Structure 1
Amino acid sequence: MSNSLTRNDEQQALDISKVWGKGPHIFKGVLKNNVFEPTDFFNALVATANAMSNGLPEPYGRANVNGRLAATHEIPLFFPEPTTATFQQYETQVEKSFSKQEYSIILDRVDVALPQMRTRVSPLLHHLFDQVGYPVRGIHSCIYAGNYGSTPFGIHMDDCHVLMASSIGSKKMAFWPRSYFEGRTDCLVPGSMAHISQQADKFINDAEVFELKPNDLLYWPPGYWHVGMSDSGKFHASLSVGIYHQGDAAEVFRKYVPLPPVAPPNSGHRALDSLDLSGLHMEKAEHYTPKVPERFGTLWDDLRSHLNVEHAAQVAFTSHALSMLTSAGFGPLEKLHIPPVTPEVSIDVNAGHGVQWAQIGNLAVVSANGLAFTFHSYANEVIALLSKIKQQGQVKVSDLLDRVPAERQADLWAFMINGRMVAPGSL
């Protein structure tokens, strides 16, 4: 199976750009390959089950039974049993577990579980983003699967552009413009402005409905009410690529400003003895000068030192932009185990395709597959080495390590490993 998704990725991207933001549109029969195969879906289930059982944040899954969230005891029934080794066996397993019931499985951040799917979709996305711009907030990829007759959480709308393709079976997607439910507070889920409380069939006559079959590609912009439907009763699965094209400058700022992390309340992630402030007592005498706690002052000074670095704003924004560019908006790949530093190995010449850089003064901001690293000196030398890699030349890990202080070499090594700049077989 080749990596190309459509019959002509560049032309298809141009066609999508022409309807970008204008309304739902289906491109019939344009896919040369499925975005994933049944075997891929099964492997994604296994990867998601392993990640969730090990407490990893992604990939992760959600499940519904008869329109409600699956109960705790039902969740394991959605993951492959030890004796289930193929998609066909899995389909039999869930049909047996939920006989005569509607069920759905949603696999979130599926690009982490299926890197080959990400590879297959990325060329089309790069061509599209050349036309409309790269997403500010990135991409969220999901697989929606099951035998459900209607999306379990009903009619809703999102703040992202969406590309959708069905790889197993077919389904329909119904759309209503934002204005359709304006002022109809009786239809909204209490506390939400983006979910409708009533069943889709009540409004279906006013909807624009598309039938999505394998080899079709569906697009819709943010702000459209939508719901997925199927009347076959058979298992179906489709990929949804949510493109968060717009974002808040504050979101990007928070991503790169080193604010101290805050543990969620009652999470158990913070020991009692780490809570270093208690009972603010203020003297009421005139001319009282309160003392600043040592850790508060240290955190403040550390933040100020980062913000006062030369070109700090340019470096932060450029790092974010390059991370979107080198990952087609998906963000970093799955983190790998970091082996001991091996200076003598060569950078993978194929890594050049996923590496981009920018020079800001004597700084070099380098991005690889959604990650970013800043060289604070030797910018010209670093860029010359990266250019050599692009031209299939040999560059050793030590050549880059020598361009950073000793205390940053471990961070640079981790960047090269997780950015896939070093081939696993070379270690």
Structure 2
Amino acid sequence: MPALEIATRFDWDTFVKRYWNQRPVLFKGTQASPFTVEDVFDAAAGATQRYLSRSYAPTSRPDVTFTIDRLRQLRARPWLPQASDGSLDGYDARMASQLGDRRYALIIATLHASGFRLWSRQRAFFSGLWQRVGMPVTGGITTLFHGTYEHSPVGVHLDRFTTFLFALRGRKRMRFWRKRPWREDVSTILDYQPYLASSFVAEVEPGDILYWPSTYYHVGESAGAGVASSVNVGIPITEHRTIYSVDDLLRGMLDETSLADQEWKQTRLASVSAPPLARGVLTQDGVLDTTLPKALTEAVRAFRDVSHPKEAQRHLQATWLKRLTSGGFEPVPPPTRARRLNDAHRVRLDPNFPVVFERDGATSWLCSANGHALHGVGGGRTIEIFFRKLNSGAELRVEELLRPFKPRRAATHDSDVIAATRDGMRGLLQKLHSFRVITLST
């Protein structure tokens, strides 16, 4: 049975050299974790709002799961964290009053998409790893495990992710097997008592960081009374085929068909409104009409529009820029409401996470920051100087940034395209503020 290595100092150079994709390690009390209890609660409450706005259809693959005594609750709303709980302690108190001694598990996938502070600190932390091993093309995942459950609801399993566990509250035990301990042709098991002898464990406490490669079978267990909370960050390593990336790009070109209803109505494909039932496709003699039904012709036309070579190339370029500035964790948190900026406002951004600017033809350009992308036209060299000043990290007056641009010119045909005028660039700054790229002062 292999022994678990324990370290008391965390740095990326040592980690990559000794442990990355090699063996598990437990970092004790290093104070290196980017996650705080407060940020995790805010993100969990945000995930509840996101979950409730989406479809309850089985195919919607919700990011939130809640189990009571290992039974998944199909109507999870009463059991999820709410902003009114105030904190994880408040949420735990509500669960204790409603569930008593029954064990429960709250699992929130893609946690980083629902809390900007959490996502921002996580991005900064893992940027050190990406500099050394490369950034995952399709991004990592962030999952909250919270509750009083006896062990992980799925039992012993193998991930396609190499994983970091950040312990927040309570005590937890992770049990590992170097190789699959059972012979049955199944991928997971709940009853793993017969295989304990070949396992080894890691006991984690608040502040600890535990890492294990994707090749280790594992299960999370309760290691004491009370509630335990941890955040797992998984980085795809095995069984992640290139075709997944193609699928991501294609779905993005189609404006993401799994959007919530109110988001879907804003996309171009929402214009495909022909009824799904095609009348008169067969004649009385049983001959098939050679004319495509309206529903299919509209769908083909819409796909042709969004996959036009020039637009597809711009989409691919924007997708990569968004992926690059998301810091390896997509989807990013949604923007806040835009605020009007006046000339006296001062703006500043973090130069460690600048706005990425790229040309898109002779007069067109793209910029991206915090996982969002914008398309603009015009500006010549002035636009490059604008972003160079902004990315310096210096505090700059809005009036100073906008002075080189002409007061106004003819509007663009597309309302989503930014014209390099004073009004257009003021709008760009307002969008960057809503993306939380820049901070304001007066």
- Alignment partner, residue 12 of structure 2: 12
Call closer, same or farther: CA 1:67–1:420 in 2, change over 3 Å: same
In 1, the alpha carbon distance for the partners of 2:301 and 2:83 equals 53
- 1:234 equivalent in alignment to 2:226: yes
In structure 1, the partner of 2:117 is 116
Residue 25 to residue 260, structure 1, CA distance change in 2 (3 Å)? closer
Q: Measured at CA, do residues 77 and 299 of structure 1 come closer, stay the same or move farther in structure 2, by a change above 3 Å?
A: closer
1:354–1:234 distance in 2 versus 1, CA, 3 Å: farther
The residue aligned with 1:370 is: 371
- Runs of 5+ consecutive residues of structure 2 not aligned to the other structure: 1-6, 419-426
Against the structure 1 CA distance between its residues 67 and 58, is the aligned structure 2 distance closer, same or farther, given a 3 Å change threshold?
A: closer
- 2:350 paired with 1:328: no
Shift of residue 142 of structure 1? 1.6
- 2:356 counterpart SS class: strand
| 1:54-90: CA deviation from partner (whole Å, max 9, x where unpaired) | 5599995321111121363x751454595x5454443
Q: What is aligned with 1:274?
A: 274
What does 1:243-254 correspond to in 2, within 5 Å?
A: 243-244=235-236, 246=240, 247=242, 248-254=244-250
Is the CA contact 2:30–2:207 (under 8 Å) kept in the aligned structure 1? yes
- Please tell me whether residue 95 in structure 1 is matched to residue 96 in structure 2: yes
Q: What is the aligned partner in structure 2 of residue 31 from structure 1?
A: 31
Distance 2:410 2:249 in 1: 25
- Cα distance in 2 for residues equivalent to 1:283 and 1:178: 62
Q: CA deviation at 1:402?
A: 7.0
Deviations 1:10-51 (A, max 9, x none): x336514653222333233333456212x4444444434444
* Greater shift in the superposed pair: 370-379 or 294-303: 294-303
Give TM-score, length-normalised by structure 2: 0.73
For residue 209 of structure 1, report the CA deviation from its aligned partner: 1.9
Matching of residue 152 in structure 1 with residue 134 in structure 2? no
Q: CA RMSD in A?
A: 4.4
Q: Classify the secondary structure of the residue corresponding to 1:320.
A: helix
The offset of 1:229, in angstroms, is 0.9
Is the 1:171–1:213 Cα contact (8 Å) retained in structure 2?
A: yes
How much does 1:178 deviate? 5.5
Corresponding residue to 1:406 among 408, 412, 422: 412
* Offset from partner CA, 1:277-314 (integer Å, 9 cap, x none): 615737899xx99445667556545544554545954x
Structure 1: unaligned runs, 5 residues or longer: 1-5
| Cα distance in 1 between the residues matched to 2:277 and 2:404 | 45
Distance 2:295 2:272 in 1: 16
Counterpart residue identity of residue 135, structure 1? P
Distance 1:398 1:116 in 2: 34
Q: Does 1:70 align with 2:73?
A: yes
1:167 deviates by 1.0
How many residue pairs get aligned? The number is: 402
Query: CA contact under 8 A between 1:48 and 1:59: conserved in structure 2?
Result: no
Give the letter for the 1:238 counterpart. S
Deviates more, 1:48-57 or 1:226-235: 48-57
Q: Does the aligned pair in 2 maintain the 1:351–1:420 contact within 8 Å?
A: no
Which residue does the alignment assign to 1:200?
Answer: 192
SS of 1:163's equivalent in the other structure is strand
Equivalents in 2 of 1:8, 1:359: separation in Å? 43
* Aligned: 1:105 with 2:101: no
**379, 382, 395: which one pairs with 2:401?**
395
Letter of the 2:202 partner, please give it. Answer: F
Match of 2:206, SS state, is coil
- What TM-score, normalized to structure 1? 0.76
Query: Could you tell me which residue of structure 1 aligns to residue 204 of structure 2?
Result: 212
Partner of 2:436: 420
Aligned 8 A contact 2:109 2:143 in 1: yes
Deviation at 1:343, TM superposition (A): 8.4
**Pairwise CA distance, 1:357:** 2.8
- The structure-2 alpha-carbon separation of the partners of 1:263 and 1:328, relative to structure 1 and needing over 3 Å to count, comes to closer
Q: CA deviation at 1:212?
A: 1.9
Provide the rounded CA distance (Å) in 2 between the counterparts of 1:28 and 1:204: 24
What is the alpha-carbon distance in structure 2 between the residues aligned to residue 346 and residue 390 of structure 1? 17
Aligned to 1:358: 358
1:245-272 Cα distance to aligned partner (Å, 9 max, x none): 54534224314434794899xxx99999
Rounded to whole Å, the distance in 2 between the matches of 1:151 and 1:227 is 6
Structure 1 residues 387-427: Cα deviation after superposition (integer angstroms, max 9, x where no partner): 1211235534995997995243445558545533465788x
- Give the aligned partner of residue 421 of structure 2: none
| Shift in CA distance, 184/382, structure 1 to aligned 2, threshold 3 Å | farther
